[in-house]
Structure 1
Amino acid sequence: MLGILSAGIAPGLALLCYFYLKDRFGVEPISMVIKTFLFGSLLVFPIMFIQYVLETENIIHSNLADAFLSASLLEEFFKWFIVYYTAFLHFHFDEPYDGIVYGASVSLGFATTENILYLIANGLEFAIGRALLPVPSHALFGVIMGYYLGKGKFSSSSNLKWLILSFLIPYLLHGIYDYILISQTNWVYIMLPFMIFLWWLGLWKVKKAHTLSAQYAEMQKAFHSCE
């Protein structure tokens, strides 16, 4: 059991540390990061229950619906909801990159609990595969979600567009990811380029968030110098 717990926790913790330490403009309070991580972890259980009901009631009738409704819609909406109400509205969310920290934290909390439960049910031999696919994909969906939340919170114009994109883009990417896994026989050949694209997109958003945070810091400095 110790081996399963270690293998289940390690990938998510490593990725969370990576994105947390990439924050160049004021590291977020550990207590806030832990809180959002735990909320993400607990989110697994109500979602599993809803998915169980959808399955037993035979509501989902196709791979497409399974990928985009049962999995992606439920998971990304509730992760977005948690990030929005526990972090986005909080005063510690005080620069654009913070969205990436909290988006990754909630998503990796979810991914870590899901990973542990999967390894308990199916065995330790799946640990490497899950460390390379499901856990990083959840992290990257969270990074992309957080990027748009950060952009929205500190945008000079209406933030509604960015809030919509903060849910819509991770939802679509997650749906595509699950659809590849569910519907394709030789899914590895499609998943590999998709994961490369996902990593490129996520790291590009990290770079853009750093730029936005630097610009915001300069604006704040200029504002305070005029007081």
Structure 2
Amino acid sequence: MFSLVILYSTLLACSAFIGVVAWRYDLYDREPPAPIAAAILLGAVLMFLAGRAQGVLIDLTVDHALSMVSDTTWAAFAGITEEIAKLTTVVLILVLFRRHFNDPMDGLVYGAFAGLGAAIEESVFHMGFKSTTMILPGQEPVRLAGHLVMGGIGGFGLGMLAIRHPRWWAWTLGSLAGAIVLHFLWDVVAFAAAERARDTGKTSWTFIASGVGLMFVGMVGFRGLVARGSRLSKRHFSSAT
């Protein structure tokens, strides 16, 4: 029991640190605690439902489309369902906290926290409650950061609604597509690495380099959207005053 307390305390501390880093990107109108907490909670709940949806899709594929059974198909299911779940979280925040959704950065910020909630749920699923180790596995901080980045990218487009951008829908679809593709590629590499590790007992440097490369692409994309969103926010709030 004590080891679980230490393990999950470390997970929460790591989540809090990554969340604060993301929150600080919101320079001009930082979001209050209530909608951020709601985004994390809804992100976790919808991630759970996305997992159930993946289970249904996998069963249907095995039963009716056996030729499609592959890690690539499972990666596609994961990328699509999980990124749609994060974007749905942003939509719910927009509806529930409309007064606070007033900044071009809000889509990215709430998407990032939806991703953080999704990552926490996934970490709990993988670690369970029977672990005897007190050391947080090395992949968990990567999971937290990865889901946060992909959630932020996928949610960015909805922030265009705050400034009544005429092509907000195109931004939304484009952002979601980018997050899905990044997530899909990440899972393809992760599944291939896991299979290689099962077969040979070791992971190829090719997979490690591919994973690092995808994380770098995601971080560059995320920071690029932060920069663009910050410029739009500055212009938006300057014109409002």
TM-score interval, normalised by the smaller of the two chains: 0.7 to 0.9
Once residues 152 and 227 of structure 2 are traced to their aligned partners in structure 1, the CA distance between those partners, rounded to angstroms, is 11
Give matches, 1:103-118, under 5 Å. 103-118=111-126
Residue in 2 aligned with 1:51?
54
Give matches, 1:77-226, under 5 Å. 77-87=84-94, 90-120=98-128, 123=131, 124=133, 127-131=137-141, 133-184=142-193, 185=196, 186=204, 187-221=207-241
Unaligned 5+ segments in structure 2 are: 197-203
Residue in 1 aligned with 2:82?
75
Contact 2:150–2:182 (Cα < 8 Å) also in 1: yes
1:123-160: CA deviations, max 9, x gaps?
555622221x2211101011212322213542532322
Q: Count the aligned residue pairs.
A: 219
Unaligned 5+ segments in structure 1 are: 222-227
Once residues 166 and 57 of structure 2 are traced to their aligned partners in structure 1, the CA distance between those partners, rounded to angstroms, is 40
Q: Post-superposition shift, 1:37?
A: 0.9
- 2:23 is aligned with 1:20: yes
Contact 1:145–1:170 (Cα < 8 Å) also in 2: yes
Letter in 2 for 1:199: M
Letter in 1 for 2:240: Q
CA 1:134 to 1:218, structure 2 compared with 1: closer, same or farther past 3 Å? same
Once residues 65 and 154 of structure 1 are traced to their aligned partners in structure 2, the CA distance between those partners, rounded to angstroms, is 37
Once residues 190 and 26 of structure 1 are traced to their aligned partners in structure 2, the CA distance between those partners, rounded to angstroms, is 36
TM-score by length of 1: 0.87
Contact 2:41–2:117 (Cα < 8 Å) also in 1: yes
- 2:9 is aligned with 1:6: yes
Percent identity of equivalent pairs = 22
Once residues 14 and 212 of structure 1 are traced to their aligned partners in structure 2, the CA distance between those partners, rounded to angstroms, is 26
Question: 3-state SS of the aligned residue for 2:30?
Answer: coil
Residue in 1 aligned with 2:200?
none
Residue in 2 aligned with 1:225?
none
Runs (4 or more) in structure 1 with deviation over 6 Å come to none
Once residues 53 and 119 of structure 1 are traced to their aligned partners in structure 2, the CA distance between those partners, rounded to angstroms, is 23
Contact 1:4–1:120 (Cα < 8 Å) also in 2: no
Contact 1:88–1:99 (Cα < 8 Å) also in 2: no
Bigger RCO of structures 1 and 2 (CA < 8 A, at least 6 apart): 1
Once residues 87 and 166 of structure 1 are traced to their aligned partners in structure 2, the CA distance between those partners, rounded to angstroms, is 17
